[in-house]
Structure 1
C-alpha cells in the first residue's frame, strides 16, 4: 500500500462517519455531497479496501473501516492539538525568544527592560547573547539582534525597527578635570590622556559635531584602546583618561558625580539603535511584545 498523500481525506472520512451520511457531513463541511463521496471513494481505492458499506438508504462501517476510523480520530485530535498550540502562541506571549545585543546597550538600560518583560510574561523564555560581534540573524536562528549604526543603514533583506538614537559625549572623572583644568575647546584636550575604542588601523580620531553642524576632529594616541565600552567607562571613572562614550551608558555616572561631561556643545552624530529580524510576517506575540517593550523602554530612557 502506498503512503496516503492527503491526510485531509482522513478528516473527511471521520466527518462522514460521525454525521452518519454523506449529505449531513457535506452540509456541515460546506462542500458538495458528490465531491465528498468522490474523495472517500478515492481514499478507499488508495487503501485498496472498502471502508463503508453503502445502500440506497444507509451506510455502515466495515470491520476494517471501524478500526481505520479509530486511528483517524486519533490523528484528527493530534492535528487539532497541534493547531491549538500554534493559535495560543499567536495570541499570547509564550515560548522562546532568541536575541543578541551589544554589552554596552545592555549596561545602558536594555537589560532592565528585558528583565521586566520576562517578569511580566512568565511563559516566555528569553535566550540573550550579550556580544559585541556582528551576528548573523538568519544563520544563527535569532528572532532579532540589536545594533547601533550611523545612518544611512545598509541595504539588507532583513526587517528593521528603530528603538532610539545614541550619541557619544566626552567624559572624564572629576578628579582628572580638577587636576588638568576643564578644557574650553577640542584642541585643548590634546594634552589629556585619552581612552578610545580599538582601531584596526591604529589611527585614533574623534569626530564631533557642534550645534551648527560643524565637525571638530581630534587625532590622539590613547593610553587604553579596546572594543569594550564598559571597560572604557570603568577606566574613565578611575581617572585614567578622557573618553568618548555613549550618553546612555554614562548618564547615571554623570548624575551621581562619578563622571563629568566635557565640552557639552560637542557630540558625535546620532547613531540609530535598531533591531533587525528576518521578517514581520508571522511574528509571534512573544517577539512582537518584546520589541514593543524595547521601543517603549528606550523612549522612557530618552534615547
Structure 2
C-alpha cells in the first residue's frame, strides 16, 4: 500500500486551499508538501490539483480522490482517538483468569464494587481451574493459589494473602466414626486427598502445631484434584479432607463441616496475582490490579478460620 501520509498531506493542501497555508497549518515545509503531492500524482498517473501562482483547485479526479481520502483520514483519526481515550481513563475490556472456588470466595464479594467504581470497564472473568497462559491466551490478569509464587521473567507477581489448609469432616461422619484426638488416629478414618498430595498411592499430609511437625502417610478413600469435589465429599460424609481455610469457612460456619484436630494444620497456598510487565499497560488494567491489591487481602483474612500468620508455614 502507498504511504498514507501522502494522502493526509494532499488533503491538508485541499483543506487549507493552497500549499502555503497548508505548510503553516501542518508545520511541514511548502517544498516538501509540493514534492509529496507531486509524487502521489505520479503514482496515480493523474493530475489531482491545478496549480497557479495564486491558488490551487481540484481536478475532477482530484475531487473524487479527496472525497475518498476523507474517509481514510477520519477513520485513522478515530482510531488514534480511541487509543487516547483508553489511555486517559479506565475504559474498555479486561480479561482475568481465576480458579473457580477462588472466584466464588474472593472475587464474588468485591468485584461488584469495582464495576460500580469504573462503569466504563467491561470485565470478562474466566473462572477455570485450568492453568492459563496469560500472553498466548491474551489474559490481562490471573489469580493463582499455589505453594509458591511462580518465578517468571515475563510476569509481575503480587502476593495477596495466604490460606493454610485445615482438616474438616461432616459432624455426622465424626459422630459415627469418632473424633480423633491425635494425628495418628487419622489412620482409622476415611481420607479425602488432593492429587498433588499423593505419592505411591498414599496421601502425604505434612501437619504442624506450633513447633510440632508430623508427616502422615494415609490411604485415601477419594483422591481428586478438584477442590469442589473434595468439599462436597466431605460435606456428604465421605471422610476427612485437608482443604484451604477460605474454601471451607462457609461450611464450617453453617455447621455442614467441623474442624478436625484443631489447631493442627498443613502448609497452605500463597494466593497471588500475575500480570504481564506493566510497560504500556492501560489504565483499566492498572485500576483493577490496584483494586484487587487493596481489597483482596482483607477478604482472604475474613474467610480464614484460624488467626492469620505472617510468612508461609
TM-score (norm 2): 0.82
Q: Could you say which residue in structure 1 is the equivalent of 2:25? A: 28
Which of 260, 272, 275 does residue 274 from structure 1 map onto?
272
Aligned to 2:207: 208
Residues 202-225 of structure 1: CA deviation (Å, up to 9, x unaligned): 22111134434x542111112222
Aligned partner of residue 297 in structure 1, secondary structure: helix
Matching residue within 128, 136, 143 for 1:146:
143
Which residue does the alignment assign to 1:245?
243
| Whole-angstrom distance in 2 between the partners of 1:117 and 1:175 | 41
For residue 228 of structure 1, what is the aligned residue in structure 2? 226
User: Deviation of residue 138 (structure 1)?
Assistant: 3.0
Change beyond 3 A, Cα 1:155–1:109: closer
Distance 1:65 1:78 in 2: 20
In structure 2, the partner of 1:47 is 44
User: What is the CA-CA distance between 1:129 and the residue it aligns to?
Assistant: 2.9
Contact persistence 1:101–1:132 (CA under 8 A)? yes
Equivalent of residue 253 in structure 2, options 255, 260, 265: 255
Q: Which residue of 1 aligns with 2:130?
A: 133
Residue 106, structure 1, aligned to residue 89, structure 2: no
Q: Where in structure 2 are there 5+ consecutive unaligned residues?
A: 302-313
Equivalent position SS for 1:10:
helix
| 1:120-153 CA distance string (max 9 Å, x none) | 5555444333322222333333333322222252
SS of residue paired to 2:157: strand
Q: Deviations over 1:30-83 (max 9, x none)?
A: 333333333222222222333223333332222322222121122111112222
1:15 equivalenced with 2:12 (yes/no) = yes
* 1:172-183 map, 5 Å: 172-180=169-177, 182-183=179-180
* Structure 2 contact 48–58 (Cα < 8 Å) conserved: yes
For residue 301 of structure 1, report the CA deviation from its aligned partner.
Answer: 0.8
Instruction: Find the aligned partners of 1:41 and 1:166 in 2 and give their Cα distance.
Output: 70
**Does the 8 A contact of 1:186 with 1:217 survive in 2?**
no
Q: Separation in 2 of the partners of 1:71 and 1:142?
A: 38
User: Which structure 2 residues correspond to residues 55-70 of structure 1 after superposition, within 5 A?
Assistant: 55-70=52-67
CA distance in 2, matches of 1:160, 1:79: 37
Structure 1: gaps of 5 or more residues: none
Give the alignment of 1:66-105 within 5 angstroms: 66-105=63-102
Shift of 1:112: 3.5
Following the alignment from structure 2 to structure 1, what is the Cα–Cα distance between the partners of residues 128 and 40? 55
State how far apart, in whole Å, the 1-side matches of 2:88 and 2:188 are.
60
Deviates more, 1:171-180 or 1:53-62: 171-180
CA distance in 2 between partners of 1:215 and 1:152 (Å): 23
Is 1:38 the counterpart of 2:40 in the alignment?
Answer: no
